Structure 1
């Protein structure tokens, strides 16, 4: 067989050589050799049939060779000849061949409505309809990307109405039609495992690539929201193409971290759905990119950026919760990096090393891992609680000055949340009672009407330490944190023992501090703590729980938590009132209430007061029922109207205006005088 193949190949080479020579080739012998080749080596014959049709259609090509020779000899003469099957020299050959013909069909609104009816039909979806709609979408994308605004594909989309109709058709109807064609909902299989997926794989890939291009070129928030909702429906198909999935995730992570709230939420839902469909392949790189993006965007914290940072942190917790084994590797690595930065700051006492720890990126990373471990207190991540607590505590101890009280409060909040959710005892009270040693009796040098808010501050300036608002803010925050922590621990078996040192320091503070506003609040807190301690002691006396029986102690604490403690009830009432005050402060209800519309009334002169015509009593406030008791505002005919106080003579007005006022009835006189004037309010006032 190999010898015959070589022989036929040599003959074909001879045929090609003879075509280049001056001798005319014999078509009959060439035809016989090709028939022989078809029998001896059918694979090679099929190869020639697919790649070199000129060699097989020798009769059609032989007529063109003479014209080619004449065109080569006479280059200046223009010869018109009949093109062959795949002659590259002819400009019209592509339009003569049916296999490579470009229709360049113009899309109309009527065609779009017909496609929509076919996609929405209850019967079977045709593959040709899906491919046609995808080609129309591609033509619309070519119209946007081309310089002259025209599409150069198999279809042509002209006009904004047709463009919008095609985009709306694909966004609304295409996902459901593709799912119906593949039978995804009926079979419950993944798209790539469906029977007809191989037929629509190529057009679907082309559509998703065009959709990614459209998503990259849109900046409007409203349009982005619509496209992201459509993309969420197509996420199951995007996961079938890893390259397109990675392209989509890069854009979605960017929108998740920088856009407005609605777009952020939609982008995260798309990220979550794509990642879950290909979790083994995409979860690890997606978590890495999302964490680095989170750290990059939480460098600067302000009241405007704080909601976005909180959303990114909560959504990252959801992503890490998908696979705790993968999350353990990431959390262990990043907590270790935080510990290395902290160790360098402790060992090398330099400003740059200290700034590597005392910044928002470091604190927000601690808060992220604290929230993650609080939610997932299970064996894979439970051993990481101890290193995170040690890093957070030593961060507080790095520079324990009053300038970094805000940072201390942030770290304490992380530890308190972790202790509450994981039911792990963490000694937080010493870091709060240590602040009570500050001298709150010394007078402030500056007066500030605006109170300090520690939520977006890590370090206080020296000028802020001299203000009266500094001590007020510290006392408020210290009282709130101590009350919350003791309330969370109020049901524990060892509560009277754990708060003993804190009670001693509170009593010392009450003796040393002479500011009544400060001592009043902490005296109340001390009374509630001691009351709760006496309550726990009485309950311990009643019970017969052994101190070495851990399970019985946990059961006792659970029952006490369900029963409720005095300190817990006090904290719940205080927290409810405190939240209402915070909402009131955020919405500025007091300021709005002070800017309500005011009615200004002009004084009525004696000349403007006229008696109405005697047609019976005049009732200003008529009622539906005669029995209603209302004040008597009736004008008696015999009684003269009261005279208004004398006023200074005003400037003369126009004669016509005076006559109109005097002759008009009282009902119309108000509209002419414009006595009631409502003060105008602009949007800025609200």
Structure 2
């Protein structure tokens, strides 16, 4: 559904909505990026450190300094390797050095090729050898011990690869687990000591200096990074996946120059973010967030574009089981887009334009297949996602505090136009669930950005239709139908049409959205005039329902009661605002005074605000009961 259309911001300035729909300015995405020398020879990388000579004893750290400089790593040692914090503990066994597994602190070269000679049997890795490397790394940040550790990790990660040359034999599961965790935890600590990088005030990072030490370590780190990606692809254990992603994200500044490595890493993150356990998905999100902190705009483009594409692929269908996952992806991806508004604008413009093109094609062709380009879950979730992005980026309070508008604000109007056009495409009762989904997205924009948009013209017809006796005529077995969850449907099942259950479900959802919208404008000095058309239309529908006997009938008596209650609260809100306006001395044209008056209104203390607070609590309680029922906890659902 999402194409490769992303343009530069310079092409968008001054464009109208018609220009947005025309799309002639869109260029084809150029995927022919220079990969450079991305190939990494795993047999040579680890030997490069033999050229790096330095007196490691000069880097010996005191225990107090370790706790102060790296409290997270120190805490890990306390919980998992407390004996290593005792610097007077006995050294590793003598055979550690004979197996090329000792401390190697004297600066002597260690021939890595000899470790991987196929004519010689690989040594067996033991916990004693591993602890020797750990102690050497803790005491001196030994690069030689790190090299040996990562060589052993490579052997562990590729144990199932028959073509891979193994430098070490790992015969015990406990050694394997200890080795993997040690590699993940210790590697960032050593690299940060020898090649520190800086976090700039704008949240982006500055890569380490390109000195001789960096060049000597570069192949080592890159090979390890690619090995981690391979290792994670074969993992199924969620805690280990989480650890791998968390710790590998700390290496991003060291490998950011390798486009191949970054692409592979992003693919891994997108896969985990789309389907893994929640804690793993959050770790993948933080890793993606680290990449957004790159000063290379092309890397940021990869993250933003890839996250949206992964979201679209994941929301082809929606159910009670997949909806929480999709919502997590939408909210987390929205966080990525607000980090760099300038770059995000390019992607948001292009993808919102794609939605507009789908809508325009559906309006022109007017066929069943054309309508499906708009009336599907991917379109609905895409609209909701961009509504989330714009709501976060253009938050009225944030803009007020900063004193400047977000660069994404010009996209609010195009998104609203596309959404309203989709609602009008098929204005039939069967698609009320989809209409309500889209209206909720618009409501979110209104609530956060302060944008004025009247939703009443789209909600009142749904409510008045549910009041009609014909909308809830009796059907065989209709009483056995469960209430339709509007968050899980965009098209009503055939058996629900013209049933009491469907009429009540649509009316309840429409009334909640209408009440939420009224709450948004309750603080406006023009509230009585704004809500008057909706109040008159609903009063007329109520009168018609009573005159036809619907007010007393079982079919829509509940709906009449709900509508009447909301209308009364809105009318009370109008009277409340009118009484407050009686004391003002300024005219409506004085915008400064109007804004000051509106800013002093406490909406939660108004009639509509109090009513909606109760409605939200009731709604949350009902949702919790439904969730328990889905999980089979035997909850009894009260439909009244």
TM-score, length basis structure 2: 0.72
Structure 2: how far apart are the matches of 1:372 and 1:412? Answer: 16
Q: Please name the residue that 1:530 is paired with.
A: 571
Structure 2: how far apart are the matches of 1:585 and 1:100? Answer: 62
Q: Please name the residue that 2:63 is paired with.
A: none
Give ranges in structure 1 of 5+ residues lacking alignment: 1-96, 596-686
**Contact 1:171–1:227 (CA under 8 A) maintained in structure 2:** yes
How many residues are paired up?
Answer: 494
Query: Is it true that 1:420 corresponds to 2:447 in the alignment?
Result: yes
Question: Cα–Cα, structure 1 residues 193 and 554, in superposed 2: closer, same or farther, change >3 Å?
Answer: farther
Structure 1: how far apart are the matches of 2:249 and 2:412? Answer: 36
Question: Cα–Cα, structure 1 residues 136 and 582, in superposed 2: closer, same or farther, change >3 Å?
Answer: closer
Task: Note the C-alpha offset of 1:342.
Answer: 1.1
**Contact 2:464–2:538 (CA under 8 A) maintained in structure 1:** no
Structure 2: how far apart are the matches of 1:279 and 1:309? Answer: 29
User: What is the aligned counterpart of 1:542 among 579, 583, 600?
Assistant: 583
Query: Is it true that 1:118 corresponds to 2:136 in the alignment?
Result: yes
Structure 2: how far apart are the matches of 1:252 and 1:542? Answer: 59
Structure 2: how far apart are the matches of 1:571 and 1:301? Answer: 28
Q: Please name the residue that 1:461 is paired with.
A: 493
Question: Cα–Cα, structure 1 residues 587 and 101, in superposed 2: closer, same or farther, change >3 Å?
Answer: closer
Task: Note the C-alpha offset of 1:394.
Answer: 1.3
Give the secondary structure class of the aligned counterpart of 1:584.
helix
**Contact 1:510–1:523 (CA under 8 A) maintained in structure 2:** yes
User: Which range is displaced more, 388-397 or 430-439?
Assistant: 430-439
Query: Is it true that 1:560 corresponds to 2:601 in the alignment?
Result: yes
Q: Please name the residue that 1:663 is paired with.
A: none
Q: Greater Rg, structure 1 or structure 2?
A: 1
Q: Please name the residue that 1:61 is paired with.
A: none
Q: Please name the residue that 1:129 is paired with.
A: 145
Q: Please name the residue that 2:56 is paired with.
A: none
Give the secondary structure class of the aligned counterpart of 2:469.
coil
Query: Is it true that 1:204 corresponds to 2:232 in the alignment?
Result: no
Question: Cα–Cα, structure 1 residues 429 and 185, in superposed 2: closer, same or farther, change >3 Å?
Answer: closer
**Contact 2:522–2:573 (CA under 8 A) maintained in structure 1:** yes
Structure 2: how far apart are the matches of 1:273 and 1:433? Answer: 46
Structure 1: how far apart are the matches of 2:388 and 2:236? Answer: 33
Question: Cα–Cα, structure 1 residues 132 and 331, in superposed 2: closer, same or farther, change >3 Å?
Answer: same
Structure 1: how far apart are the matches of 2:580 and 2:113? Answer: 90
Structure 2: how far apart are the matches of 1:432 and 1:99? Answer: 72
Question: Cα–Cα, structure 1 residues 478 and 194, in superposed 2: closer, same or farther, change >3 Å?
Answer: same
Question: Cα–Cα, structure 1 residues 588 and 463, in superposed 2: closer, same or farther, change >3 Å?
Answer: closer
Question: Cα–Cα, structure 1 residues 590 and 508, in superposed 2: closer, same or farther, change >3 Å?
Answer: farther
Structure 1: how far apart are the matches of 2:344 and 2:424? Answer: 29
Structure 1: how far apart are the matches of 2:218 and 2:320? Answer: 47
Structure 2: how far apart are the matches of 1:117 and 1:462? Answer: 69
Task: Note the C-alpha offset of 1:185.
Answer: 8.2
Task: Note the C-alpha offset of 1:591.
Answer: 8.3
Query: Is it true that 1:502 corresponds to 2:518 in the alignment?
Result: no
Q: Please name the residue that 1:380 is paired with.
A: 407
Question: Cα–Cα, structure 1 residues 202 and 497, in superposed 2: closer, same or farther, change >3 Å?
Answer: same
Q: Please name the residue that 1:173 is paired with.
A: 186
Q: Please name the residue that 2:438 is paired with.
A: 411
Question: Cα–Cα, structure 1 residues 288 and 542, in superposed 2: closer, same or farther, change >3 Å?
Answer: same
Query: Is it true that 1:444 corresponds to 2:474 in the alignment?
Result: yes
Structure 2: how far apart are the matches of 1:186 and 1:253? Answer: 24
**Contact 1:182–1:194 (CA under 8 A) maintained in structure 2:** no
Query: Is it true that 1:362 corresponds to 2:411 in the alignment?
Result: no
> Per-residue displacement from partner, 1:235-277 (whole Å, max 9, x unpaired)?
3334353332221111111111122222211111111113313
User: What is the aligned counterpart of 1:232 among 249, 262, 267?
Assistant: 249
RMSD of the TM alignment (CA)?
2.7
Structure 2: how far apart are the matches of 1:227 and 1:118? Answer: 23
Structure 1: how far apart are the matches of 2:270 and 2:626? Answer: 34
Query: Is it true that 1:223 corresponds to 2:236 in the alignment?
Result: no
Query: Is it true that 1:139 corresponds to 2:155 in the alignment?
Result: yes
Structure 2: how far apart are the matches of 1:226 and 1:196? Answer: 27
Question: Cα–Cα, structure 1 residues 178 and 477, in superposed 2: closer, same or farther, change >3 Å?
Answer: same
Where relative contact order (Cα < 8 A, 6+ residues apart) is larger, the structure is: 2
Task: Note the C-alpha offset of 1:517.
Answer: 2.1
> Per-residue displacement from partner, 1:404-463 (whole Å, max 9, x unpaired)?
111111111111111121111102101111123425323221322411111111111332
**Contact 1:192–1:240 (CA under 8 A) maintained in structure 2:** no
